Amino acid sequence: MTPDEALARIRRYDGRLKAFVRVFDPPLTGEDSDGPTFAIKDLFDVAGVPTGGGAVVPLDPAPADHARAVERLLQAGWSAVGKTHTVELAYGGWGTNRAVGAPWNPWDAKVHRAPGGSSSGSAVAVAAGLCDGALGSDTGGSVRIPAAICGVVGLKPGRGLVSLRGVHPLAPALDTVGTLARDVATAARMLADISGPDGAAAVRSPFDAEAALRFPARGLSVAAIPLDELGEVDPEVARLYVEALDRLKQAGVVVQMVSPAKSLEQSFGPNGMLMAGEGWRIWHERIEQHGSVMDPWIVRRFEAGRELTDQHLAEAHARRAQDQMAFHAWLADFHALVSPTCPIPAPPIAQVDETTSPLSRLTRAANYLDLPGISVPCGLTAEGLPVGLQILGQPRDETTVVAIGAAFEKVSGWNGRSPDLSGFE
């Protein structure tokens, strides 16, 4: 859509949706002012614009430069229409924010449902058609979770493909930059535009979206986790997952029901430990200074890392390296691993239990094990709420993840569904 069309939709619907914390009017453009439009999670720097980070006190009141991902999209002809809500300091999967407010999941105009986090506003903006794509960050599922429960595509690369420069960290060992869009092709092309070397040896060559979208998925082998090994899963999510596996077979993908050598849930605790430990070291001075105006649940999560010594973290990193080697060796027999993205659909925000993190139960493994992943819509529950299918690939193999995601999308029956926004006008 054109920037003018995006701004018109934002003015029409975002008063209630609250996807955006700041709208760029006129849009922020590169050389081509009529390119596709994108939104920016308010964890990414935009030169001269405060980076709020979901907090009352901005993380940076006036950044000198754009985050590298933002800069590259502008150079590629995208137009930025604004900055979107995030969970405070990106530390939460529900999408709630008691400091500055939470967006409204667009699939239910009557009940304020969780948008998913931490890239909450980015997912809502894309789902509501307020922009063509959006930037998000993913440390334990923060791109894929909101994508799944808002009914859009969320693409998380492996580490090193996209520069983290200008993106405020949560846990540097786990942080990645990802893309959200209404379809796999747009998410993949957006990833291609932000990927590539950044003057650091750890940053990889650019991603070739067109090659990935042409890559044939027929004959590829995926391991699917059996339902009885997924833990507690909502019956509607289970139904749509089984249907999604049948549709993958229709696309020519070879689906094998297999128990992974290490379940996705076994990564949940270790990933959380690294987030708390690294996050506390980065943000403890802010918490000590501004904790009284922060979301109290965010403060509690960070404070869990206060007791973790450097020795504890060193041992956690050593265990992670061993876990990665073992899981990567197991996954080498398959092209991908599939599961539901989230075990439940979006609950009402009033019913959210902040002491639990079910939405990230199946997503954290991708960060802990450093695997690329994508969440693709796979249907609606009986209540009309979206559910996502998660596809995790072998290390550094974003191409196969995109190829399988695109093949599934063609047979998914989703066909670009969008929420009824009449209740948000």
Distance CA 94, CA 368 (A): 19
Judge whether 412 counts as a catalytic residue.
no
Strands 153-156 and 373-380: antiparallel
Catalytic residue, candidates 18, 41, 83, 156: 41
Longest dimension (CA), the chain: 56
List the structure tokens of 15.
Answer: 């008063």
**What Rg do the C-alpha atoms of the chain give, in angstroms?**
19
Tell me how crowded residue 425 is: count the other CB atoms within 10 A of its CB: 9
**What is 57-103 written as a DSSP string?**
S-SBSS-SS--HHHHHHHHTT-EEEEEE--SGGG--SS---TTT---
Q: Which one from 137, 142, 163, 375 is the annotated catalytic residue?
A: 142
**153 close to 213: Cβ distance less than 8 angstroms:** no
Looking at 118, 119, 339, 357, which residue is catalytic?
Answer: 118
| 118 is known as an active-site residue | yes
Q: H-type helices in 304-370, by residue range?
A: 310-331, 364-368
Which residues does residue 38 pair with via DSSP β-bridges, in sequence order? 80, 133
| CA dihedral sign, ordered 178, 184, 187, 189 | positive
Active site residue 142: yes
Tokens (6 digits) for 103: 């967006």
Residues labelled catalytic: 41, 118, 142
